Structure 1
C-alpha cells in the first residue's frame, strides 16, 4: 500500500541545498512540499492546515526566537505534527523543543530519506489520532512510586479525576513485583528514594524488552543540567519539577499515554499492510 499525503507539508527551510533536494525527491515519497523562506510567510501559510510542518531552526538565529516561533505554530496548529531540523544538539535545547510538542528532533547533518520517513510516520500518527477517540488515556493505568505518602496522595488526587486508574507504591523494594502485576500504561516515579533511586529503577525497566516502550516520567526537585542528563540517560521520557503543578502534570501524563498508544496502533497498522 502506498501512503500518499493529499495535503502539502509546509517547510520553513533556509538551507537552499537541502530545500532543493527535498523538493526533487518529494514526489517519489508521495509527499507534496511547499517551501517557505521567512518567518512572516510561514506564519501566514499555516492557515492552509498542512498535514505536517518541517521547521529548520537556523543555528544563527537566537534560540529564544526559534522557541517563540514553535510556540506560535503549536497555538495555531495544535494537532499538526511539527518536525524540527537543527544544528543545536545540547540537552537544554532538546528539552525546550520537546516541551513545545515537537514530534521529531532531527539533528544536522540529516539525509533526505530520514526526513521523509519522519514526515510519513508523523502524518500516519495524525491520521490514526483522527479516527480514534479524542483521548485514549481514559481508564489507563498509572503507577506512581514515591517514598513520601503525602506526595503519593497529591499525585493520585490530581490524576484520578481524569479517569486514570492509579496504583500507588511507597516501598521501592516492591517495585518489580507491583510493576509486573499492575502492567501500567505509564510510570510516574520519584527521583530520590531510599535503597533504590528513580534512576536505578528507570535503568532496570529499560533493560527488560517487555518494558522498553513504557512511558516513564520522573518527578524531581533537582532540575540542574547534571540531574536532568542523568534522568534521560537512564531512560526516562520526561521529568516534572517539584513543586508539582497540577495542569502540567495532567497534560504531560495524558499526552505521553496518548502518544504511546498511537505508536502501538501505528506498529499494528504497519504489520497489517506489510511495511
Structure 2
C-alpha cells in the first residue's frame, strides 16, 4: 500500500515514515501543499496523511482541491489543534478521518488500517486466498497454518496481489506501487527475483510453485482458485489421465525444438562473428516462454535452465565470450533434460477428440453434446472461467469452444482466448456469440481465436468448424527415407523415429539412391549434405527435377549452419535443414512441420 505523508516538520515526517515503512507501507514525503499536489498528479496513493498547517498550500485547501478534482484516495488529517471547528472544517473539506498531535504511533497505525479497510469494504481485516492467510495488522503470513518468513518487499508484493486478487500486475506497475519516490527504482530483474523467492517460500509451505502465476508478456497475478470439476478419479481413470498427460508431454517435446533453435542461433551467430540485437531480443523472448511452458509439462529443471538463459540474455545488446560459452552450455543441458524421457508410441486406437465447451447456456451446450455423440467426439462442460485452467490440465482438450458472454465482461473472455493462443502448444479456441459485427470479429482475431461462430448456427455446422481446426499431424505409418554415409547418424535417427511408428528406409551409399528411392516412394526425405560420392545438394536437385516429386518434403542435415550452404540448399529446393548433432526433439519437430505442410 502506498501512502503520501504531507508534513513540513522533517524530524516528525522521517519518524512517521520509518514507522510505516516497517509495517510494509511505501511512503513518499512532501514538505508543503504544493509539492503534495505535484506528487498526487504523478503517483497513485491509497491514503494521504495530511498535516493542516503547511507552507504554500495548507492542508484544508489541498483537501478541497483534491476532492473538487475528483480524487477518491483516503485522506487522514494530522492536526495540532484539538478544536471542534478545526475537525469540522477538515471533514467538510473531504477528509475521511483525523488524528490529533501529538499522536501515539500505534494508534496512528490502527487508524490507517481501519481507513484502508473502510476504503475497500469487500476486504476483510485478514486477507485470504485458498490456504494462504495474510494479517496486515500483525504482518503474519501463513500457508496451511505454516508460517512464511517474508522480506518486507515480498510481504508488500503478496499483500498487493491479495488486495487486488483479480488484477494482473506488470513488473513496472509493481515498482510504481511499491517503491517510494526517493528510492532508486529497481531493475525489472529485481521484481522477478522477489517473485521467484515468494514462489519458493510458498512451495516450501505446500503451495504450487505457480501460486503466483505468470501471464506471459503481461505480468503476474494470483492463480485463480477453482472448484473441483471432476469427482475423484478411479484407478483406471487416473491411468488414462497419466497416459494422456504423457502423450501431451511428448508432443510438446517435439514442438519445442523451434524455440530452442532460436537460442542455438545466438551461439552459432556468435561463433561466426555476427551478432544481432534483434536475435538476442528474440532469444530472450523464447527463453521467457520456455520458463512457463517447460514447467507446465513437468520439466522443472528445464524451466529453471530456461530462466537462467532468460536472465543471461535480459536486455542485452551484446554478450561476452564467457556469456556465450555459458549460453551454449545451458542450451545443451536443456536439450539433455528434454531427452531424458524416451518417446513412446501408444499403439492403441487414437484418442477420441475432446472438446471443452465453456458456457453456462443450456441452449448452446445441450444440442452440441447430442450432436457430438453422433460424430464420435467427447464433450466436457465448464460453466465459469475460473475453472477453465483446471479443466484444461485435467482433460487435455483438442479444442475449446468459448462463449464470449461467460465472463462478467467480454474482455475477460478475450483475455482467456489470448492466453490460450500463447500456450505451447497452443490450444485451438473457437468463440461462439450472439453478436455479429466486424469489431467483435477483429477483437477475436487479434486475441488468437480460430473461428467466430454464431449461437444461431445448427450444431452440425458448429461441430464442422471445430473439426476443421482439430487436424493433428500424424507421422505413424509415414514412409521416411534417410541417406547418410555415417552409420552412427543413421542409427541415431532410427532410434529417434522408430518409436513413432514410421516406416523407415536408411541408406549409407548415395550411389544407390535412385533405385531405392523409386522403390520405397517416401513421404519425406532426409539427406546428409556432406557425403563422399554424391552429396545431399546434388540428390535434392535430382529429386526436384522429377515433376512427380516437386512437393516431396526434403530435410537436409548439415555439420553447421553455414550461411552459404544453407543458401545453396534452399536454392535447389530443400524445405528445411538441421545441424548436427541431431537431437530427438528437434528432429521430430521438423518432421511434424514438414508433413503438416503437405497434409491434405
TM-score normalized with structure 2 length? 0.25
User: Hey, what's the Cα distance between the residues in 2 that align with 1:194 and 1:238?
Assistant: 22
The Cα offsets for residues 199-256 of structure 1, whole Å up to 9 and x where unpaired, read as: 0011111112211111111111132211211222121111111111121112211221
Indicate yes or no: 2:483 matched with 1:165.
no
User: Hey, what's the Cα distance between the residues in 2 that align with 1:232 and 1:129?
Assistant: 31
The Cα offsets for residues 105-150 of structure 1, whole Å up to 9 and x where unpaired, read as: xxxxxxxxxxxxxxxxxx79x9776344x33211101100011222
Q: 1:185–1:214: 8 Å Cα contact kept in structure 2?
A: yes
- Structure-2 change in CA distance of 1:185 and 1:76 (3 Å): same
What is the number of residues matched between the two proteins? 167
Moved more, 201-210 or 62-71: 62-71
- Structure-2 change in CA distance of 1:69 and 1:129 (3 Å): farther
After superposition, the CA RMSD in angstroms is: 3.4
Indicate yes or no: 2:469 matched with 1:130.
yes
Q: 1:143–1:167: 8 Å Cα contact kept in structure 2?
A: yes
User: Hey, what's the Cα distance between the residues in 2 that align with 1:230 and 1:179?
Assistant: 22
Larger Rg: 2
User: Hey, what's the Cα distance between the residues in 2 that align with 1:128 and 1:140?
Assistant: 22
Indicate yes or no: 2:401 matched with 1:62.
no
User: Hey, what's the Cα distance between the residues in 2 that align with 1:230 and 1:169?
Assistant: 23
Indicate yes or no: 2:518 matched with 1:180.
yes
Moved more, 218-227 or 182-191: 218-227
Aligned to 2:250: none
Aligned to 1:197: 535
Consecutive unaligned residues in structure 2, runs of 5 or more: 1-215, 219-276, 290-418, 429-449, 452-464
- Structure-2 change in CA distance of 1:197 and 1:140 (3 Å): same
How much does 1:80 deviate? 7.7
Aligned to 2:10: none
User: Hey, what's the Cα distance between the residues in 2 that align with 1:77 and 1:148?
Assistant: 34
User: Hey, what's the Cα distance between the residues in 1 that align with 2:528 and 2:427?
Assistant: 32
Listed as ranges, the matches of 1:8-23 within 5 Å are: none
Q: 1:239 aligns with which of 573, 577, 580?
A: 577
Indicate yes or no: 2:255 matched with 1:255.
no
TM-score normalized with structure 1 length? 0.52
Listed as ranges, the matches of 1:148-163 within 5 Å are: 148-163=486-501
User: Hey, what's the Cα distance between the residues in 1 that align with 2:488 and 2:282?
Assistant: 39
User: Hey, what's the Cα distance between the residues in 1 that align with 2:284 and 2:468?
Assistant: 26
- Structure-2 change in CA distance of 1:242 and 1:70 (3 Å): closer
- Structure-2 change in CA distance of 1:77 and 1:170 (3 Å): closer
User: Hey, what's the Cα distance between the residues in 2 that align with 1:176 and 1:127?
Assistant: 42
User: Hey, what's the Cα distance between the residues in 1 that align with 2:424 and 2:508?
Assistant: 40
For 1:205, what is the secondary structure of its paired residue?
A: helix
For 1:177, what is the secondary structure of its paired residue?
A: helix
For 1:62, what is the secondary structure of its paired residue?
A: helix
Indicate yes or no: 2:466 matched with 1:147.
no
Aligned to 1:230: 568
Consecutive unaligned residues in structure 1, runs of 5 or more: 1-41, 45-60, 82-122, 266-275
User: Hey, what's the Cα distance between the residues in 2 that align with 1:136 and 1:162?
Assistant: 10
- Structure-2 change in CA distance of 1:190 and 1:204 (3 Å): same
User: Hey, what's the Cα distance between the residues in 2 that align with 1:209 and 1:173?
Assistant: 21
Aligned to 1:218: 556
The Cα offsets for residues 89-119 of structure 1, whole Å up to 9 and x where unpaired, read as: xxxxxxxxxxxxxxxxxxxxxxxxxxxxxxx
User: Hey, what's the Cα distance between the residues in 2 that align with 1:181 and 1:128?
Assistant: 35
- Structure-2 change in CA distance of 1:77 and 1:152 (3 Å): closer
User: Hey, what's the Cα distance between the residues in 1 that align with 2:479 and 2:542?
Assistant: 20
Write out the 4+ residue segments of structure 1 that deviate beyond 3 Å after TM superposition: 61-75, 77-81, 126-129
User: Hey, what's the Cα distance between the residues in 2 that align with 1:197 and 1:156?
Assistant: 21
How much does 1:76 deviate? 2.5
Indicate yes or no: 2:423 matched with 1:76.
yes
- Structure-2 change in CA distance of 1:139 and 1:64 (3 Å): same
- Structure-2 change in CA distance of 1:77 and 1:194 (3 Å): closer
- Structure-2 change in CA distance of 1:242 and 1:63 (3 Å): closer
